[in-house]
Each structure stands twice: as structure tokens, then as C-alpha cells.
Amino acid sequence: MTIAVLGATGMVGSRVITEAGARGHRVLALSRRPAGGDPDVTPIAVDVNDPRAVGEALAGSASHGAADAVVLAVRTMPVDRDFLVGATRTVLDAAARRGIRVLVVGGAGALRSPGDPDLPVADNPVYVPAEVKAVAAAGTAQLRTCRAHTGADWVYLSPPARLEPGERTGRYRRGTDTLLTTADGQSWISAEDLAVAVVDELETPGPERHITVGHRPPGD
Ligand SMILES: NC(=O)c1ccc[n+]([C@@H]2O[C@H](COP(=O)([O-])OP(=O)(O)OC[C@H]3O[C@@H](n4cnc5c(N)ncnc54)[C@H](OP(=O)(O)O)[C@@H]3O)[C@@H](O)[C@H]2O)c1
């Protein structure tokens, strides 16, 4: 496959690029300041606020082939909900026009709470302290944007509550719309294992539109 990764220089995007490259996929690395160097990775400078640039990058050119799938993994600090919603709509529009599958790496806040399906994680202080509530709410708005889109083939991957650089074990638990926790109540995964799940989902798409993943301890 040719996989476009928007947010190529980020914590998630860079690991998705490594994982996809290791499995022999061609990668289009999209961000405002993408890094080059790997012959199987084509860096393309794209601002996701520019719909034409996004469309052109996905469509292919003399220097690179068209994308078969696009992973959206962008964010701003501090969180900018309008940016996130606009970027998501831009990518969904561009992908829909070209029949490209979209995998959005979104937020844990869009999930249901374990044991309390009516309580969104975004409103659950156990997982979302007050200082990150706006980030969680933006992720929920991003999922709504996907649901409202007619025509795009998308899947929204909510990470667990904690997502950070770590070890690639190649193992993870896969769920749908409810936050996954380990036996000790922790909800986490390494960004490396999340990247494994992203590429697995692109290679073998499941039927669900909202999925999540979590750390799988050895022996589980
Ligand atoms: N527990 C959770 O729910 C959780 C935890 C962490 C992350 N996440 C989610 O995972 C996704 C990826 O997060 P991350 O931690 O990997 O982010 P990150 O490390 O902050 O990277 C953000 C990426 O977005 C790109 N970007 C920002 N503005 C852009 C623009 N205007 N045009 C093009 N690219 C732009 C940046 O590249 P340039 O600056 O080069 O443009 C960078 O590659 C986000 O949706 C985030 O909310 C969720």
C-alpha cells in the first residue's frame, strides 16, 4: 500500500511511518516540516489548513504515487478544536473524492467509560482531569465530524487514556467504543504498539467505525 501520514513528525505519525515502512509499505510523510532521508518515505510539505495541498498530496504526482490510505494524526498545542474539526473535514473530503480510506487517530475522550456506558470518558474525571477536558472535548467533536460526513470511508481510533513513547511489543488489545483498561485499572499503550494497531487496521480493516486499543500484558 501507499500510506499517507498527516502529522508525520508527531509522536504517533513518526511511529506509524516506522511501522508501515518496516512492513514494506510506501509512505507519504505529510506535515508542515516533514523530514526526509528514507528512500521508501516521500516527505511532502503540507499544511492541513490548505485543502488543495492535501488533495494534491493524496492524489499523487510525478514524484510519488497516489495514497491508498491516509492516517490523520495532527494536533496543536494548546488544543484548537476548530483546527481539529476543520483538518478532519478537509481530509475526509479529499479522501472521499479519491476513494481513499481514512484512519483518524483521535482521542480517548470519545469513548464510553468502562462499567458506565452512558458516561463519556471526556466527562469522567477518573480518566480526564479538568486541565485536559478541552482536549478530550475536541476529540469528541472530531468523531462527530466523522459521523456527520457522508461519503468518506473512515475509522476513528481512540487511544487509551495514556499514550506515550515506549516499547514495541507487537501485542495489544482491540476494543470498539469503550475505554480499555488492564487488570490494575490502568488505561495505556505505547505509541509504538498503537502504530502496530494502526497498520494492522489498514491492512485488515474491521467492520467497526470506532475502535480503541490498549496494552496487552505478557501472558494475557
Ligand atoms: N490519550 C489520548 O487520547 C491521546 C494521547 C496523545 C495523542 N492523542 C491524539 O493522537 C493524535 C496525534 O497526536 P501526537 O501526540 O502524535 O501529536 P504531536 O506529537 O503533537 O504531533 C502533531 C503533528 O501534527 C502536525 N501538524 C500540526 N499542525 C499542522 C498543520 N497545520 N498542517 C499539517 N500538519 C500539522 C505536526 O507537524 P508539523 O509541525 O511539522 O506541521 C506534527 O507532525 C492527535 O489526534 C492527538 O489528540 C490522543
pLDDT digit string, tens, across residues 42-58: 999 999 999 999 999 99
Predicted local confidence at residue 35, as pLDDT: 82
Where are the extended beta strands (E) located within the chain? Answer: 2-6, 26-31, 41-45, 69-72, 101-105, 112-113, 116-120, 153-158, 162-164, 172-175, 188-190, 210-215
pLDDT at 63: 82
Q: State which residues form the domain around 107.
A: 2-215
Site to probe by mutation for ligand 1, drawn from 5, 6, 12, 18 as the one with most ligand atoms within 8 Å of Cβ, is 12
The answer to whether position 52 is within a domain reads: yes
Q: What is the DSSP letter of 104?
A: E
pLDDT at 219: 86
Tell me, using a 6 A CB cutoff, whether residue 73 lines ligand 1: yes
Contact residues for 46 (Cβ-Cβ < 8 A; gap 6+): 6, 30, 31, 32, 53, 54, 57
The pLDDT value given to residue 142: 98
Name the closest-CA residue to atom 19, ligand 1: 10
Asked if residue 102 belongs to a domain, the reply is yes
Residue 162: the pLDDT is 97
Residue 220 maps to a domain: no
Atom of ligand 1 nearest to the CA of 142: 45
Q: Give whole-number Cα distances, 172 to 142, 190, 215, in Å.
A: 24, 10, 5
**Ligand 1 center–CA 72 separation, angstroms:** 9
- pLDDT tens per residue across span 125-161: 999 999 999 999 999 999 999 999 999 999 999 999 9
Return the ligand 1 atom nearest residue 32 CA. 41
Ligand 1 pocket check for 187: Cβ under 6 Å: no
Q: Look-up: residue for cell 505509541?
A: 191
**CB-CB neighbours of 180 under 10 Å:** 25
Question: For the chain, which ranges sit under pLDDT 50?
Answer: none
| Residue 171 included in any domain | yes
Looking at the structure of the chain, the number of domains it has is: 1
The enclosing domain of 95 has a CATH number of 3.40.50.720
Strands 172-175 and 210-215: antiparallel
- Are 69 and 1 in contact, with CB atoms under 8 Å apart? yes
In a domain, 187, yes or no: yes
- Return the axis-axis angle of helices 133-148 and 81-98, rounded to nearest 10°: 30
* Mutation choice for ligand 1 from 49, 70, 74, CB with most ligand atoms inside 8 A: 74
